[in-house]
């Protein structure tokens, strides 16, 4: 079995395919091109649907289910970024900047509430 690429390499490949489909594909023949043609709102809704499915898989699915749903979510996030014209390099730069400080420091700098979860402790497992 061939070795799997790193997540970064896989995302770079998917982002390149999305860019190519955005530039050249017919929306009637390409799911990616159809999503992009429908606009950022449709892309955002689809991303939200996939994120919800990922949450469900995290709570009640197998590890493989979670990996599959996470892949769908990441794909749809990349499509949404493309629809809004946000380069993946901007996201990489934001992640790199955040890695330079703790998560608590980063959240405080953004004015986000302290703590790890919005779910009350009695509802976590």
pLDDT digits (tens, 9 = 90+) for 54-90: 999 999 999 999 999 999 999 999 999 999 999 999 9
Model's pTM, two decimal places? 0.82
Spatial contact of 66 and 54, defined as CB atoms under 8 Å apart: yes
Q: pLDDT digits over 94-114, tens only? A: 999 988 877 777 677 777 776
């Amino acid at each position: 079995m061939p070795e799997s690429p790193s997540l970064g390499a896989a995302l770079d490949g998917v982002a390149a395919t999305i860019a190519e489909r955005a530039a050249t594909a017919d929306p009637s023949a390409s799911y990616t091109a159809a999503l992009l043609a429908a606009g950022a709102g449709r892309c955002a809704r689809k991303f939200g649907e996939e994120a919800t499915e990922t949450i469900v898989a995290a709570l009640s699915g197998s590890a493989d289910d979670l990996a599959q749903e996470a892949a769908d979510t990441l794909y749809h996030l990349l499509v949404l970024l493309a629809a809004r014209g946000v380069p993946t390099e901007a996201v990489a730069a934001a992640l790199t900047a955040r890695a330079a400080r703790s998560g608590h420091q980063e959240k405080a700098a953004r004015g986000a509430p302290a703590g790890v979860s919005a779910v009350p402790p009695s509802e976590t497992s």
